[in-house]
Amino acid sequence: MTAETTNPPATNQVRAFSIIAAALFLNNTVALMLGPLLVDIADNFDTSVAVTGQLAAATFFSWAIFAPLVGPFSDSFGRRVVALTGLGLMGICILAAAFAPNFIVLMVLLIGTGLGGAMIPPNSMAAVSEVVPLEHKGRAIGAAQGTMQSAAVIGVPVVAVLASVADWRLPFLVVGSLLLATFVCSWFWYPKCTATGPRTFSYLSRFKQLGSVSAFRIGMLANFSQRIAFYAIIGYLAAYLIDTYGLSVGETALPLAVVGAGAVAGSLWGGLIARHRKRLGFVAASTLVGGALVLILFAIDPAIWATVAIAFAAVLFISIGWPVFITFATDVAGPSRATGIGLMGTSNRMGGVIGSAMGGAFLAVGGFSAVGIFCAAVVGVSALMMRLILREPDGALA
């Protein structure tokens, strides 16, 4: 651990990791669960899939706005109170969303969900970066990201199955209940570590410090572009499979699980290169490959499992960058790790906002092939920034 924290006993470490992993898993399940539910929600509230897709945009928007605001609290006062608040707010809002009487109420509750969800990843990733030796930090963050991304393999397909058993409201009931159960476990088991920052509350100074680092600002923009493509793929893939191949919501579960495995594999791969001196070059190349695959994904209609294989590969290559950018943020943030990760999380969720909103707009105007062109364009912009502008800060990989 860092000099400011104390190693808990081994048993407590296992319990603490288990609840943090559960929180990350459920957090990302909530972020991705709307994908297989869009068609049912649109039918229930008599809207189009493109309009219903704005529910995800609203969730990501509140998430993106609030994510950097909680970082300084976590850095100054510790992780526990922020983690408990986030889990409690998410659990209550998701559970209440199961009973939403109309589209507007559902959107308001999902905005509240975004506020709670914004609190969890910065705390968790900051804690991970503090409890491992520097040389293992990238792998540890990659493993944590792999746990989080496993929501796409397990959580989202389970959401699809639950929706096929009843309707779109059942997944909200189940996920909300699990979040509140995790809140109770966290109340007893979340580590009571000393804060990583000074006890005197420094808020704006933390943003000022990070804002002065040009590499951090450019890294946020590069990550933002990549996440736009990621969330556009994940958000509209289920609808694409339903529309193109005539699948039911339940039948999308297995294809979505396979594609979600690509996100897990990409996160683990990214963790392995996150401390490599050529990590930025690797990420730039991988995103270009991913962008080309997305273009192919929505441009042709081969056999369904060929489509799933292309989607798997596209998500894998685009996912490599996320743990690298998180590690990059901790390298340059100093004592303001949660603030830095929160700001990087903002670029992540703002990517979700634009990916969901613009993906829906392109879908309405030009169909799914237009969504593919949009994704390829934004990852191309990210790769250009990484190759032409972004540089490693001096000593970051020392």
Asked whether residue 201 carries a pLDDT value surpassing 80, the answer given is: no
Lowest mean pLDDT among 107-121, 127-141, 160-174: 127-141
Listed in sequence order, the DSSP H helices in the chain are 10-32, 38-44, 49-52, 54-77, 80-97, 103-117, 120-131, 137-149, 155-165, 169-189, 204-211, 214-245, 253-273, 279-299, 304-319, 321-333, 337-366, 368-388
pTM assigned to the model: 0.72
By percentage, how much of the chain surpasses pLDDT 70?
87
d(CA 330, CA 174): 34
**Mean pLDDT of the 123-131 span:** 70
**Mean pLDDT of the 97-105 span:** 94
Which tokens hold the place of 237? 């893939």
Helix (H, G, I), strand (E, B) or coil at 364: helix
Helix (H, G, I), strand (E, B) or coil at 389: coil
The full length of the chain comes to 398
- Which band of pLDDT confidence, cut at 50, 70 and 90, is reported for residue 315? very high
Asked whether residue 194 carries a pLDDT value surpassing 50, the answer given is: no
CB 264 within 8 Å of CB 151: no
CB 275 within 8 Å of CB 397: yes
Q: 160-192 in b/e burial notation, b at 16+ Cβ within 10 A?
A: bbbbbeebbbbbbbbbbebbbebbeebeeebbe
- Which band of pLDDT confidence, cut at 50, 70 and 90, is reported for residue 199? very low
Asked whether residue 6 carries a pLDDT value surpassing 80, the answer given is: no
The residue with greater pLDDT, 200 or 34, is 34
Listed in sequence order, the DSSP H helices in 246-320 are 253-273, 279-299, 304-319
Query: Domain segments of the chain: what residues?
Result: 10-189+210-388
The residue with greater pLDDT, 289 or 66, is 289
User: What was the pLDDT predicted at 87?
Assistant: 93
d(CA 173, CA 94): 7
- Nearest to 59, CA basis, from 22, 23, 25, 97: 97
d(CA 221, CA 215): 10
Which tokens hold the place of 182? 């995790």
User: What was the pLDDT predicted at 7?
Assistant: 47
pLDDT in tens, 269-307: 988 888 788 898 999 999 999 999 999 999 988 899 999
CATH architecture classification, 10-189+210-388: Up-down Bundle (1.20)
Asked whether residue 332 carries a pLDDT value surpassing 60, the answer given is: yes
CB 256 within 8 Å of CB 247: no
Which tokens hold the place of 379? 């990852």
Rg over alpha carbons for the chain, rounded to the nearest Å, is: 20
Which tokens hold the place of 303? 């056999």
Amino acid, single-letter form, for residue 106:
L
User: What was the pLDDT predicted at 133?
Assistant: 64
pLDDT in tens, 350-394: 888 899 889 989 999 999 999 999 999 999 999 999 988 888 766
The residue with greater pLDDT, 296 or 58, is 296
- Compute the mean pLDDT over every residue in the chain, rounded to the nearest whole number: 83
